[in-house]
């Protein structure tokens, strides 16, 4: 009986450890897919019709170039991502549950989170990327820090001195990244871009907070389908027409041009695949190992974002300007340390190791 108990205890420990390991791998992978989605979306937005739109003779106003094209880029990526999500949900036999979930209370929570994180934050992120380059990625990776503060305000979640220290470390890292742009080759609208990156971080922090309620009940693959469908529809139906109206251009012709330009569309399809997995694994990782650890592992996209931009755009496609200044690499690492400090006490890692030994 005693040996039976011991065997059960060992098997139970292994089950829990496997689950946590799977959760951490899932959350880290989410950050990596986030990095690839960023790189391929940025690449798509430089191909075909987009090179004309961003060119000097596009006839588009400065407002249209900054906001409309960013919203359109986010809409194209989200729509392709929604297509992937619906296809994968159908293949896995979960499409019925998608329709059953969307009209329930947790489903509506997910829709609300999608509107905040989708059209609002994604567009800010793209505006930031277009104005300040990949330096916006680590700035937007402040979302776990912002999520912790919002969690405290909205849901009375824990925010102790250690977490506040982590937030401070993240802010120092952001400041270091801001400084890198002050050289001669700084993007013209660096600070404006960083500001929009910060807005994206706010949106995603809020999304992470709010969606936490939904993902503990909804299957992550259904949750992400709700997110991407909501996000793509609200982008296409609200944001793009609104910015088109302000810019004095026809939204239908802009959307039609986006989805018929094969040269760029193929890369949006690839970006949409990365976006699907990035956000699905984010939700899943948060649900499996708790929002704090999940979001901190995902927050490593502050490294993966510039890394994949450099790898895909710089090395693979030979584009110049994607090399990351050394101080920004250092800041990205410091930000990861800050994010981990928010999520967990670093001393616990050593404690757990010695307990396991």
Partner 1 sequence: MKPLNYAILKHFTNGKESCVEDVMAALKDQYSTFKAFNKADILNALMTAEANGLLEEARFDLDDAGEVRVYFRAHEEGMATINKYIKD
**Residue 8 binds partner 1 (CB under 8 A):** yes
CB of residue 106 to partner 1, shortest distance in Å: 5
CB contact at 8 A, 250 and 266: no
CB contact at 8 A, 200 and 126: no
Closest CA to 214 of 153, 166, 279: 279
How many angstroms separate the CA atoms of 33 and 282, rounded? 10
CB contact at 8 A, 124 and 67: no
Q: Calculate the alpha carbon distances from 251 to 58, 108, 223, 267 in Å.
A: 15, 28, 29, 22
Near partner 1 by CB under 8 A: residue from 69, 76, 85, 101: 101
Q: What size, in residues, is the chain?
A: 357
CB of residue 109 to partner 1, shortest distance in Å: 8
CB of residue 1 to partner 1, shortest distance in Å: 11
Residues in contact with partner 1, total (CB under 8 A)? 30
CB contact at 8 A, 298 and 143: no
Q: Which of residues 285-324 bind partner 1 (CB under 8 A)?
A: 287-290
Closer to partner 1 by Cβ: residue 99 or 350: 99
Q: Calculate the alpha carbon distances from 280 to 56, 107, 141 in Å.
A: 38, 15, 17
Closer to partner 1 by Cβ: residue 64 or 218: 218
* Terminal Cα-to-Cα distance of the chain (whole angstroms): 26
- From residue 245 to residue 284, what is the string marking binding to partner 1 with x (rule CB under 8 A)? ----------------------------------------
Closer to partner 1 by Cβ: residue 138 or 212: 212
**Residue 155 binds partner 1 (CB under 8 A):** no
**Residue 112 binds partner 1 (CB under 8 A):** no
- Given the rule CB under 8 A, which of 13-21, 45-53, 129-137, 235-243 is the region that contacts partner 1? 13-21
Joined tokens for residue 80: 């392709």
Joined tokens for residue 39: 């790189």
Joined tokens for residue 10: 């060992």
Closer to partner 1 by Cβ: residue 212 or 299: 212
**Residue 4 binds partner 1 (CB under 8 A):** yes
CA dihedral 298, 302, 307, 309 (to 10 degrees): 100
CB of residue 291 to partner 1, shortest distance in Å: 9
What angle (nearest 5°) sits at the alpha carbon of residue 89, between those of residues 88 and 95? Answer: 150
Q: Which of residues 209-228 bind partner 1 (CB under 8 A)?
A: 212-213, 215-219, 222
Closer to partner 1 by Cβ: residue 52 or 104: 104
**Residue 17 binds partner 1 (CB under 8 A):** no
**Residue 100 binds partner 1 (CB under 8 A):** yes
**Which residues bind to partner 1, rule: CB under 8 A?**
4, 7-8, 11-12, 14-15, 19, 23, 92-94, 97, 100-101, 104-106, 212-213, 215-219, 222, 287-290
């Amino acid at each position: 009986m005693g040996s039976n108990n011991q065997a059960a205890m060992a098997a139970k420990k292994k089950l829990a450890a496997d689950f946590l390991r799977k959760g951490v791998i899932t959350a880290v992978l989410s950050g990596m897919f986030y990095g690839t989605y960023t790189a391929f979306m940025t690449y798509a937005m430089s191909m075909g019709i987009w090179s004309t739109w961003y060119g000097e003779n596009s006839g588009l106003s400065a407002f249209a170039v900054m906001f409309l094209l960013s919203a359109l880029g986010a809409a194209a990526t989200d729509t392709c991502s929604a297509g992937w999500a619906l296809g994968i949900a159908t293949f896995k036999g979960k499409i019925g549950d998608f329709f059953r979930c969307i009209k329930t209370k947790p489903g509506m929570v997910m829709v609300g989170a999608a509107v905040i994180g989708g059209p609002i934050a994604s567009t800010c992120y793209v505006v930031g990327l277009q104005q300040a380059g990949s330096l916006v990625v680590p700035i937007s990776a402040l979302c776990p820090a912002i999520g912790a503060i919002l969690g405290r305000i909205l849901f009375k979640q824990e925010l102790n001195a250690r977490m506040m220290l982590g937030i401070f470390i993240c802010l120092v890292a952001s400041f270091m990244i801001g400084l890198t742009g002050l050289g001669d080759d700084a993007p013209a609208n660096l600070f404006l871009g960083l500001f929009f990156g910060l807005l994206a971080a706010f949106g995603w922090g809020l999304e992470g907070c709010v969606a936490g309620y939904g993902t503990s009940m909804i299957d992550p693959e259904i949750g992400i389908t709700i997110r991407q469908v909501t996000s793509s529809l609200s982008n296409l139906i609200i944001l793009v027409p609104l910015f088109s109206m302000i810019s004095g251009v026809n939204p239908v012709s802009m959307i039609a041009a986006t989805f018929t330009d094969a040269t760029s569309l193929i890369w949006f399809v690839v970006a949409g695949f990365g976006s699907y997995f990035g956000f699905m694994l984010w939700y899943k990782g948060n649900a499996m190992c708790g929002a704090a650890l999940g979001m901190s592992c995902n927050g490593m996209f502050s490294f993966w974002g510039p890394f994949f931009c450099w790898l895909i755009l710089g090395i693979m496609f030979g584009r110049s300007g994607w090399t990351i200044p050394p101080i920004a690499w250092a800041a990205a690492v410091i930000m990861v340390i800050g994010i981990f400090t928010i999520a967990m006490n670093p001393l616990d890692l050593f404690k757990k190791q010695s307990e396991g030994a």
